Amino acid sequence: MSSETPTDAETACFEAGIKFGSLYHQFAGTPVSPESAPSLATAMAESIENQPHCREVTVDVRTDELEAALAESTADYTELTGRFLEVEIVVDYEGCTVVTRMEMEDGYPLMRLESVRE
């Protein structure tokens, strides 16, 4: 086991991963409709922004996908999954800024590291 201290960039990336894990697993399964999507997106962003080192969170609910899912259902709402979300999280740790995104790629809500600025 190495005794090296993580770099600020590594710690910032770790923090970003924690934020995505919290966001996704805290809200997955939440009932959502086209009418409630904007307030849910705001609640998600504001909730995650409370966490340490989080500078900015942007959550967009893909209402086109949401409406398409509801067109195949008799219900007025569905449960939130990654396919309905586009998210950007910016973390700042000790002057290192990490930008991360989640968006659909090949039918999967992929979370990725966009940039690291020291």
Determine if residue 44 is labeled as part of a ligand binding site. Answer: no
Q: Is 15 within any annotated ligand binding site?
A: yes
Three-state DSSP class for residue 102: strand
Tokens in use for 99?
């930008």
Closest residue by Cα to residue 108 from 81, 88, 89: 81
Q: Does residue 93 contact residue 116 with C-beta atoms inside 8 Å?
A: no
What 8-state DSSP symbol labels residue 51? S
Enumerate the known binding-site residues for substrate.
15, 111
Annotated binding site: 15, 111
